[in-house]
Structure 1
């Protein structure tokens, strides 16, 4: 167990490596995505004991539409199945679920299920689980600035009052604290357009473990290393 006092309050995960994990076993990529969904369940359960209050996971990016039609369709089916199978357990565990990203391209059925899960868990506060679905950091900032510009054009907001705090109120994550720790699995050392604005001062952990192998023990070890870091936010310690 990590030192909760010094541990991260908000952890964000780029869940990479599902496809490679499956291919290494001679299985289709969707087999890896199903294994990855099991890991989400395990990590969610592990958060409270590690002192993690907020968990944000990158489920599907705005760029993931470039994948094969078979994989995209399979992922959308997996998202629907996850919501359907996990809803009652998440409610009972005190997990509040919210989604970020642009829902316009998602099917009405999936969007409705997302709305229902958000409403069902809206009174929970043991863990705040945010799922980034059809999400991209640049897309989010673009949509936020458009909404902000409309407020200025309507005269409800003065241009002189616009600053970084104002813009943050228009982001998808306006209800979240900024992430303290961002974890990317699978050995890739890039942030892939994830929480670009919010992660300005986050600590990063790039680990070689593929997401389906990201057990609660590996998660605890990774979270535990956070307590050894000194966060100065641009300042210099005395």
Structure 2
């Protein structure tokens, strides 16, 4: 099929508003899947990257994410990107704040700020992140829910 990158919006920032038990179950499920699929990713040579705000994610899941990313970081041809506690708006805001800070610290000049710089500051820049060609919305909704 020629598909080299798959991105899964596993948990959006809005999902923190769900029932606490449901959130805990989702986090546990993500951790279980990351741990249980590691042999598969090695066999298929899939790089796994997780993007999003990690400040609210349980520490045990953060460790599993770090272990998975480290174990698969050298694979280049196939890439699974999981978005956990991610939103496109959060990503843009984070990138803008980073650029402002770099400008204030003299690392970049105001005239250097362009589309390419903003793109480099986005969390989706964990690789040559392609713009999505195809979007599957599993809930039946017809909105993109603060996606990439």
Partner residue of 1:88? Answer: 39
Report the Cα offset of residue 186 of structure 1: 3.2
Q: Give ranges in structure 2 of 5+ residues lacking alignment.
A: none
| In structure 2, C-alpha distance between the alignment counterparts of 1:66 and 1:187, rounded to whole Å | 20
Please, what TM-score do these two structures have when normalized by structure 1?
Answer: 0.60
Give SS of 1:189's match. Answer: coil
Give SS of 1:132's match. Answer: strand
Q: Which aligned pairs between 1:88-237 and structure 2 lie closer than 5 A?
A: 88-174=39-125, 175=127, 176-195=129-148
Q: Which has the larger radius of gyration?
A: 1
How big is the alpha-carbon RMSD for the aligned residues of Structure 1 and Structure 2?
1.0
| In structure 2, C-alpha distance between the alignment counterparts of 1:179 and 1:165, rounded to whole Å | 18
Report the Cα offset of residue 183 of structure 1: 2.1
Please, what TM-score do these two structures have when normalized by structure 2?
Answer: 0.94
Report the Cα offset of residue 80 of structure 1: 1.1
Give SS of 2:123's match. Answer: coil
Report the Cα offset of residue 167 of structure 1: 0.4
**Farther-moved stretch of structure 1 (173-182 vs 149-158):** 173-182
Residue-pair matches, total: 146
Moved over 6 A (4+): none
Report the Cα offset of residue 182 of structure 1: 2.0
Q: Give ranges in structure 1 of 5+ residues lacking alignment.
A: 1-49, 196-238
More helix by share: 2
Report the Cα offset of residue 97 of structure 1: 0.3
| In structure 1, C-alpha distance between the alignment counterparts of 2:105 and 2:57, rounded to whole Å | 30
| In structure 2, C-alpha distance between the alignment counterparts of 1:156 and 1:131, rounded to whole Å | 30
